[in-house]
Amino acid sequence: MTRYSNTRLTQFENCPYAYDLKYNKKIETPYNTIEAFMGSRVHETLEKLYTDLQNDRMDSLEELLAYYDDRWFQEFDPETIINNSKYSDDEQMEIGEQCIIHYYERMKPFDQISIAGLETDDELQLPDGNTYSVRIDKFGFKDGVFYVCDYKTSSWMKSQYEADNDRQLQMYALWVKRRYGLTKKVKMVWHMLKFDEDVESERSLPILEACEQQVVREIAEIESCKEWKPRQSNLCGWCTYRHMCPCFVKEPEDDDVGYGDC
């Protein structure tokens, strides 16, 4: 049986060819997008914040920013970073700093919930025998309510509709209910760090189970797939497998990335 995740399913939806390279052929690539790199450094920093709090130590904002900067320069390799955004690498670094500042100043003293898990590494058993990865950024509870929290460093504000229909949050909420009780109240929270706002959602058990059924159907589609064809879209400019894709063997000479038929 296979352990699936939201990232894995999204990869198949975006491009079966890239999915085949990553998950079937197990081809690793050194490349990373600047957006994903920045997001990882922010996640690390906020994980440090709550880990230290669990050890009765509150980091100052200055300490967290210093940690973020150190991690950035330790991990940054310009040869492996894909930057196809309107922001330079330095500007992306500053955006991450602002995300941390916004969160710190709004959430201090960080007692909104009792933390039960950080960057969890668990799985939800699916009806088809496969499992679904449960990696929650911040998981906790307060007054009988469980909170599934996801940090977002994206440059666009997520809508309430997106939160209400987000597959990842719903699958995580289902994991909470099956582990702690089907009648438990679970709130799903997106911390939109760049905008210093939260988007919250709460879904009924039947809706969560319907989401699971859709995941199982998509897994069946993946496991029956015979042709892993490239699927071009606006996401191609950020694909870490672009250098291997038959659609881009010969790069265009101008800024036109050649979207269309392969």
Phi and psi, residue 194, nearest 5°: -65, -30
Examine the pLDDT at 254 and tell me if it is beyond 70: no
Give the model confidence (pLDDT) of 151-192 as tens digits.
999 988 999 999 899 999 999 999 999 999 999 999 999 999
What pLDDT score does 75 carry? 97
Give the model confidence (pLDDT) of 216-225 as tens digits.
999 999 999 9
Say if CB 133 and CB 3 are below 8 A apart: yes
Q: What is the Cα–Cα distance from 243 to 249, expressed in whole angstroms?
A: 7
Tokens 């469980």 belong to which residue? 146
The pair of three-digit structure tokens given for residue 145, joined into one six-digit string: 């309510």
Give the model confidence (pLDDT) of 8-19 as tens digits.
999 999 999 999
The pTM assigned to this predicted structure is: 0.91
Q: Using pLDDT thresholds of 50, 70 and 90, give the confidence band for residue 250.
A: low
Could you tell me which of 101, 208, 194 has the C-alpha nearest to residue 151? 194
Q: What is the Cα–Cα distance from 111 to 64, expressed in whole angstroms?
A: 18
Question: CB-based burial of residue 224 (10 Å sphere; 0-12 exposed, 13-18 middle, 19+ buried)?
Answer: exposed
CB atoms within 10 A of CB 4: 24
Q: What is the Cα–Cα distance from 105 to 113, expressed in whole angstroms?
A: 16
